[in-house]
A and B are shown apart, each in its own frame.
Chain A
C-alpha cells in the first residue's frame, strides 16, 4: 500500500525559507519509472505543479519558481524534501507530495497535504 505524508511548519514569516518533508512508504524509490512530485494549492484555487524528482535522481522544476525551489531525495529515510526560499504571502497554500508514474506522468497517490501560511 502506497502512502505519502507531508510535514513541516504551519506558519512561516516572509523572506524565510520553507522546508517541507514528504515521508513515503509502500514503494521503492529506486524502482525504475517512479518519482515524487510536489504540488501546492492556494485556498480556493487550482493546484500548481512545483517540482519532481525521478528514481534516477533527475530533477525537474516549474520554470517560474525554479530559482526558489530545491527538491532533494533522502532515500535512507524514504523522504523527499522541498525547500522554498524567500517566501511571500502568495506562497500560502496547501502543499502536497504525490507519487508520480513515469509511464503516464500521472499523480496516482497523494499525501493529505499540509497547509502553510506565510505571514508576519
Chain B
C-alpha cells in the first residue's frame, strides 16, 4: 500500500493568512493526488485533483503543486469559511489511501 504522510496535523491561522499543507507519498504516484476539505458533520468536498487542477466552483485562492512525491495545498488569503479539515488522497493504486488530515483552526 502507498502511505500518505500529511503535515502539519493542525495549524492556527488568521483570516487573510497564507496556509500551506504538505502530503508526502511513500512511493511515486505521478500526479494522482486529490485534496479534500471537510467541515464538521459533512462529507469531504473535492478541491483539487490531478495534484494541481482546481475542481469547478472552488475559489482560486486554493492551489496545489507537486515536487516529486511531495504535494502541497496552499490557501491564499484564508477566509472564514476555510476553517476546516483538509485531507489528501492518492489515486495511483488501490487502496486509494488518505492522509491523516490537517485541521485549520482560527488563531
Contacts and interface: CB of A to CB of B under 8 A. Distances in A.
Measured as residues with beta carbon below 8 angstroms from the partner, the interface class of chain B is: 20 to 34
B49 A112 contact: no
Given A106-B49, A108-B46, A62 B94 contact: yes
A96 interface: yes
Contact of B97 (A37, A49, A107, A108): A49
B98 A48 contact: yes
Main secondary structure of the interface of B (DSSP, over half): loop
A62 B97 CA distance: 9
A31 interface: no
Contacts of B95: 49, 62-64
Contact of B32 (A98, A105, A108, A112): A105
The 3 A-B pairs of least Cβ separation, nearest first, read A105-B91, A106-B49, A110-B43
Interface of A: 37, 46-49, 52, 60-64, 96, 98, 101, 104-108, 110-113
Interface of B: 1, 32, 34, 36, 42-46, 49-50, 53, 55, 87, 89, 91-92, 94-101
